[in-house]
């Protein structure tokens, strides 16, 4: 034990010194530049204001890297680390859900059964299985169990249907689909296509599935009948193995499966925990979907590896949020920006402050509502982070700086190699200097956020997508020095004088709506298909009082005319609800030659004001599920949030 502590200390010191030395010469240069550019006073102010923040974060970062180093040295996989947690406190609650309490021992037993069940069915380590289910304890227990058997789980978005669902399941060669009985309809619809694409596709249903289209095996029976002894495969894995896939609708086209390896799962969870400064034994309220990175990976890691309790909810409910937190005695909660906005939109209630939640962490809480949110719900610490599922450009707000999603050190910028690079507004390409290098932003500027790629270091590697063509598009070369490469996050951030970062916008072909990325090219493809190849362009527009951008489509007028009800009906069948355009504009002409982008920029800047746009405009009225014409009154209702979007 003593030797181990000593070991850690030495590694820590060595790590610290290396970090500092690497940074040193570049730092001196950077300091000199800032000094000259800014004049001495600003420079001094920056040092005084940010030195303690930078040192504290450096210490926490090095601590996390040391623990990652030890994990790698031991070659420990996530199931192996989980076993340590179980050993420490088998009877502590791991997952709370409705009125169920799953202790760590329960989770361990159930996941062993899952592993044995799949090994019994003849599955082998390295094979892939799709998981299609709403949030519930079994969701976590299933992928954990599969990973004990070395099987990689594809965590499928439970909102997907038809073509996108088929694509997600087959893009990683899944041999089986696990689904819960509530979703059997969605699987029924695609089963014939799936069977064609993957020979011998197996269907496993959790809960009662009485479909006469698919012959699904009852998974709960298989699990019940399996042994709860630890399968020997749990000792076979390697830190660099794949743990699961999480799908992102990155920049273009259909969802892409991002690879999450064991070491990355650990690294992200540990970095979040250390940098924000979690207390031991938090009870974390997690109502985010478990197939996304935030809820499914960052959230579950705190439980499985660090022994926190997590309270789950199948679907977010604004009115139940604080009562749930009270019921489960939560001390922390996860959010995405939309959740915060929905919570603020509720009428004030005593429960707003009757809970014990003091820490909230997540992504997308905008500066405008930050302090209002913290004050009304009495949240003392907000750990806003910026991160991408597949990339390495991640930062965290470590010191409660209002509105910020992290920082880049102005004193030691090279210790953590992320940066903002200047982007040409028209082409969305990085601006290059005379030597062909990217131009890094200084304090007070806005640019695309990038993270340097270092293959050997899991904290800096870009594991990419399953589809390697898609991976290439996310890489930019010659950023910090000639010949290097960096991951393009696709987001514009603003950096203030002290290096604090603030989210501004997404670049390029996606926009965020209701917590999901909407790929404009994917929606364009679907719509043009529905309308028999009519030209259309999709883009995001601002709607006052809404997070992210609402989808708007401009469709070229045809002689036949457009039946909007029918159009909407068809879109419901093939698009997830968050991708369906909220606003429709029928245009009489569209520039189809030359750059498509130009047309988009014009439509986008014209927006949906009937005073400005003379073409017919329609908005999707959610209460009626119908497109209605935008006239002066409707337009005002949109601006004043009277019309629910
Ligand atoms: C980790 O363990 C696996 C399987 O036991 C082995 O193949 C691999 O080489 C090990 N990796 C390291 C870095 O020791
Ligand atoms: C919450 O705390 C109260 C009082 O400390 C306790 O009685 C209750 O069992 C706790 N609830 C949960 C879900 O742990
Ligand atoms: C706010 O939270 C603090 C603890 O973080 C607590 O002491 C205080 O009483 C709370 N305020 C209200 C109004 O509940
Ligand atoms: C949105 O896109 C970013 C960047 O590609 C990705 O990291 C993130 O996970 C995506 N979010 C969702 C919900 O797919």
pLDDT digits (tens, 9 = 90+) for 491-505: 889 999 999 999 877
- Is there a contact between 479 and 392 (Cβ–Cβ < 8 Å)? no
H/E stretch holding 109 reads helix 104-120
Distance 375 CA to ligand 3 centre (A): 10
Ligand nearest to the CA of 76: 1
C-beta of 380 in contact with ligand 3 (< 6 A) = yes
Mean pLDDT for the stretch of residues 18-38: 65
pLDDT confidence bin for 108, thresholds 50/70/90: very high
Distance (Å, rounded) from C-alpha 581 to C-alpha 533?
A: 17
C-beta of 248 in contact with ligand 4 (< 6 A) = yes
CA dihedral 510, 512, 516, 517 (to 10 degrees): 10
**pLDDT of 478 strictly over 60:** yes
Ligand nearest to the CA of 329: 2
Place of tokens 């997690």: 286
- Write down the pLDDT at residue 403: 93
Distance 371 CA to ligand 3 centre (A): 15
Which sign, positive or negative, has the C-alpha torsion 551, 556, 557, 562?
negative
**pLDDT of 611 strictly over 70:** yes
C-beta of 293 in contact with ligand 4 (< 6 A) = yes
Nearest CA to ligand 1 atom 5: 236
Distance 332 CA to ligand 3 centre (A): 14
Distance 152 CA to ligand 3 centre (A): 44
Residues with CB under 6 A from ligand 2: 96, 328-329
- For residue 507, the 8-state DSSP code is -
Distance 389 CA to ligand 4 centre (A): 6
H/E stretch holding 342 reads helix 337-345
Distance (Å, rounded) from C-alpha 585 to C-alpha 70?
A: 57
Ligand nearest to the CA of 295: 4
Q: Exposed/middle/buried for 39, CB within 10 Å: 0-12, 13-18, 19+?
A: exposed
**Greatest distance between any 2 Cα atoms in the chain:** 82
Mean pLDDT for the stretch of residues 590-609: 68
Of 399-403, 483-487, 525-529, least confident by mean pLDDT is 525-529
Residues with CB under 6 A from ligand 1: 75, 236, 238
Place of tokens 């996390």: 64
H/E stretch holding 286 reads strand 283-286
Give the number of the atom of ligand 4 that is nearest the alpha carbon of residue 491.
4
C-beta of 442 in contact with ligand 3 (< 6 A) = no
Distance (Å, rounded) from C-alpha 172 to C-alpha 256?
A: 10
What's the Cα-to-Cα distance from 517 to each of 153, 334, 406, 528, rounded to whole Å? 22, 19, 21, 20
**pLDDT of 524 strictly over 90:** no
- Write down the pLDDT at residue 253: 53
Q: Compute how many other C-beta atoms are within 10 angstroms of the C-beta atom of residue 498.
A: 17
Distance 329 CA to ligand 3 centre (A): 15
- Write down the pLDDT at residue 243: 97
Percent of the chain with pLDDT over 90: 53
Distance 238 CA to ligand 1 centre (A): 5
Nearest CA to ligand 1 atom 1: 238
Mean pLDDT for the stretch of residues 40-61: 88
Nearest CA to ligand 2 atom 11: 328
- What mean pLDDT value characterizes the chain? 87
Distance (Å, rounded) from C-alpha 543 to C-alpha 116?
A: 51
DSSP H helices in 518-595: 520-530, 564-574
pLDDT confidence bin for 1, thresholds 50/70/90: very low
H/E stretch holding 503 reads strand 500-506
What's the Cα-to-Cα distance from 356 to each of 52, 95, 282, 328, rounded to whole Å? 29, 18, 11, 10
Distance 327 CA to ligand 2 centre (A): 8
Give the number of the atom of ligand 4 that is nearest the alpha carbon of residue 248.
14
Note the pLDDT tens digit of each residue in 308-336.
999 999 989 999 999 999 999 999 999 98
C-beta of 517 in contact with ligand 4 (< 6 A) = yes
Distance 300 CA to ligand 1 centre (A): 25
Nearest CA to ligand 1 atom 12: 75
Distance (Å, rounded) from C-alpha 48 to C-alpha 254?
A: 47
Q: For a ligand 2 pocket test, name from 308, 326, 329 the mutation site with the most ligand atoms within 8 angstroms of its C-beta.
A: 329
**pLDDT of 291 strictly over 60:** yes
Q: For a ligand 4 pocket test, name from 159, 395, 509, 517 the mutation site with the most ligand atoms within 8 angstroms of its C-beta.
A: 517
**3-state secondary structure labels for all residues of 389-404:** CCCCCCEECCCCCCCC
Ligand nearest to the CA of 330: 2
Q: Report the predicted TM-score, pTM, of the whole model to 2 decimal places.
A: 0.79
- Is there a contact between 519 and 251 (Cβ–Cβ < 8 Å)? yes
Note the pLDDT tens digit of each residue in 123-161.
999 999 999 999 999 999 999 999 999 999 999 999 888
Distance (Å, rounded) from C-alpha 222 to C-alpha 220?
A: 5
Of 23-27, 153-157, 303-307, 574-578, least confident by mean pLDDT is 23-27
pLDDT confidence bin for 250, thresholds 50/70/90: very low
- Write down the pLDDT at residue 162: 84
Distance 387 CA to ligand 1 centre (A): 29
Nearest CA to ligand 4 atom 5: 250
Distance 74 CA to ligand 1 centre (A): 9
Distance 82 CA to ligand 4 centre (A): 27
- Is there a contact between 501 and 517 (Cβ–Cβ < 8 Å)? no
611 vs 461, residue with greater confidence: 611
Tokens standing for residue 515: 């917590």
Which residue, 163, 157, 152, 161, is CA-closest to 134? 157
String of DSSP letters for 169-219: HHTTT-SEEEEEGGGHHHHHHHHHHHHHHSTT-EEEEES----SSS--EEH
**pLDDT of 5 strictly over 50:** no
């Amino acid at each position: 034990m003593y030797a181990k502590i000593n070991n850690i200390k030495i590694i820590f010191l060595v790590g610290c010194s290396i970090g500092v030395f690497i940074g040193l010469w570049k730092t001196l240069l950077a300091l000199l530049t800032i000094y000259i550019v800014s004049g001495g006073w600003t420079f001094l102010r920056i040092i005084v204001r940010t030195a303690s923040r930078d040192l504290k974060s450096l210490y926490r970062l090095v601590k996390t890297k040391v623990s990652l180093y030890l994990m790698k040295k031991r070659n420990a996989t996530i199931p192996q680390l989980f076993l340590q947690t179980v050993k420490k406190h088998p009877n502590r609650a791991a997952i709370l859900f409705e009125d169920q309490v799953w202790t760590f021992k329960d989770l361990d037993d159930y996941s062993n059964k899952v592993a044995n069940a799949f090994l019994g069915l003849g599955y082998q380590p390295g094979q892939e299985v799709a998981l299609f289910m709403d949030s519930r304890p079994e969701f976590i227990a299933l992928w954990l169990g599969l990973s004990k058997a070395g099987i990689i789980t594809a965590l499928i978005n439970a909102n997907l249907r038809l073509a996108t669902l088929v694509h997600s399941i087959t893009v990683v060669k899944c041999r089986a689909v696990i689904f819960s009985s509530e979703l059997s309809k969605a699987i029924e619809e695609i089963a014939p296509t799936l069977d064609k694409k993957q020979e011998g596709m197996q269907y496993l249903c959790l809960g009662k599935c009485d479909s006469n289209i698919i012959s699904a095996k009852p998974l709960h029976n298989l699990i019940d009948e399996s042994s709860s002894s630890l399968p020997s495969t749990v000792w076979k894995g390697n830190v660099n193995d794949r743990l699961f896939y999480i799908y992102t609708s990155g920049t273009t086209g259909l969802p892409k499966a991002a690879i999450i390896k064991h070491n990355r799962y650990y690294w992200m969870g540990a970095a979040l925990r250390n940098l924000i400064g979690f207390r031991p034994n938090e009870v974390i309220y997690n109502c985010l979907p478990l197939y996304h990175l935030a809820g499914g990976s960052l959230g579950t890691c705190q439980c499985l590896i660090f022994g926190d309790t997590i309270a789950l909810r199948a679907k977010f409910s604004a009115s139940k949020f604080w009562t749930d937190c009270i019921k489960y005695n939560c001390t922390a909660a996860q959010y995405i920006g939309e959740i915060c906005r929905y919570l603020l939109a509720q009428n004030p209630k005593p429960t707003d402050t009757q809970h014990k939640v003091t820490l909230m962490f997540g992504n997308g809480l905008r500066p405008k509502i930050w302090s209002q949110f913290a004050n009304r719900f009495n949240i003392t610490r907000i750990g806003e982070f910026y991160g991408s599922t597949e990339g390495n450009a991640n930062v965290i707000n470590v010191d409660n700086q209002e509105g910020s999603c992290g920082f880049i050190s102005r004193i030691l910028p090279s210790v953590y190699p992320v940066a903002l690079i200047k982007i040409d507004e028209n082409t969305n390409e990085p601006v290059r200097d005379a030597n062909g290098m990217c131009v890094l932003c200084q304090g007070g500027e806005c640019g695309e956020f990038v993270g340097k790629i270092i293959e050997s270091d899991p904290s800096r590697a870009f594991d990419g997508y399953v589809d390697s063509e898609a991976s290439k598009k996310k890489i930019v070369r010659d950023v910090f020095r000639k010949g290097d490469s960096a991951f393009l996050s696709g987001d514009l951030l603003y950096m203030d004088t002290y290096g604090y970062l603030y989210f501004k916008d997404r670049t390029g072909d996606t926009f965020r709506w209701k917590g999901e990325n909407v790929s404009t090219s994917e929606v364009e493809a679907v719509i043009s298909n529905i309308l028999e190849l009519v030209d259309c362009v999709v883009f995001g527009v601002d709607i006052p009082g809404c997070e992210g951008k609402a989808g708007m489509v401009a469709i070229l007028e045809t002689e036949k005319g457009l039946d909007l009800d029918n159009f909407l009906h068809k879109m419901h069948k093939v698009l997830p609800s968050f991708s369906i355009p909220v606003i429709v504009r029928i245009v009489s002409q569209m520039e189809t030659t030359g750059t498509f982008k130009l047309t988009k920029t014009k439509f986008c800047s014209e927006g949906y004001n009937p005073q400005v746009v003379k073409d017919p405009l329609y908005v999707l009225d959610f209460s009626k599920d119908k497109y209605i014409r935008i006239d002066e009154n409707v337009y005002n209702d949109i601006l004043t949030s009277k019309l629910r979007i």
